[in-house]
Amino acid sequence: MGEFVRVEISEHIATIRLDRPKMNALNRQVQEEIAEAARLVDADPNTHAVIVYGGERVFAAGADIKEMAVMSYADMAVHSRTLQDCFTAVARIGKPVIAAITGYALGGGCELALCADFRVAGQSAKLGQPEITLGIIPGAGGTQRLPRLVGPAKAKELIFTGRHVDAAEALAIGLVDRVVPDGEVYTAALELAATFAGGPVTAVRAAKLAIDHGLEADLDTGLEIERLQFSGLFATQDAREGMTAFAEKRRPKFTGH
C-alpha cells in the first residue's frame, strides 16, 4: 500500500510489513504509512489478528536521526503530536497485535513494539530506548508505555542509561513475552496470531478496550468500563451463538456480528 509499509492478509491474519532498507528507520513517511496500515487492518472485518514485522534482519532501528537533526523546536512541537498519533494508531487496533522482533528494536522501534499486545523476539534481538545518548528522551510513547509494562524503576534505568537489553533480559523483565530462534520469529508470531483467528472479534475488541482503558483509570472507573463492555456484548449474535453452542455441546461459529 505504501512505499515502505505494506499490508498482507491471509487466513484472517494481517501482517504490517516494514520495508525501508537498511534498518527500517522510522522517518515521517514511514510513521504515516504505519498509521494508515493500522487504520486499514482495524477497519477490516476479515482481519482477526495483526503482526507487525520488519523482516528477517531488523525490526526497526529507530527514528531517522538525520531527519530529526535539522528540526527546530517549533518543527518538533508540531511533528511530535503526529509522531505519537501514528504510534497510538497501532496501539488502538481493536484486535490482538503481535510484534515479531528480529535484530534491533531501538528507540522508535522499541516504542512501536510497545504498542503491540504481545512481543515475540529472536534470540539475538536487542531492545532499548537510547534517546538519552542523543540528548533527548523517547517521544513516541516510551516514557509512558515502557513503565506500564516493566515497572517504573526498570523503565527509568533503561531510559536514563539508554542501554540495550538482549532477548533473555527482555524476557526476564517482561519486555517481551516469548523468545525463539532468530529464524522462527515470524512463524512463532503467526502461530500466536492463529489462536485468535476465527474467534469472536467483537468480544476480543471489547476485552482489549476494557483492559487498556481500565489500566489508565482508577479501579472503580475500570470496573464500570468492564461492565459496559460486558453488557453490550449481549446485543451481539456472537454472544448468543457462543452460549447456545455451549448448551448444545458444539463448537461455536462466530461471525463478528
Active site residues: 111, 131
For the record, the C-alpha cell of 34 comes out as: 504505519
Q: Strand (E) positions, 146-249?
A: 164-166, 178-180
Residue (of 132, 90, 135) closest to 111 by Cα position: 90
Residue (of 38, 46, 1) closest to 19 by Cα position: 1
| CB of 155 closer than 8 Å to CB of 170 | no
The whole-angstrom separation of Cα 243 and Cα 90 is 32
Residue (of 233, 243, 172) closest to 201 by Cα position: 233
Q: How far is CA 11 from CA 42, 98, 184, 186, 191, in A?
A: 16, 16, 19, 15, 12
Gyration radius from the chain CA atoms: 19
The whole-angstrom separation of Cα 129 and Cα 47 is 31
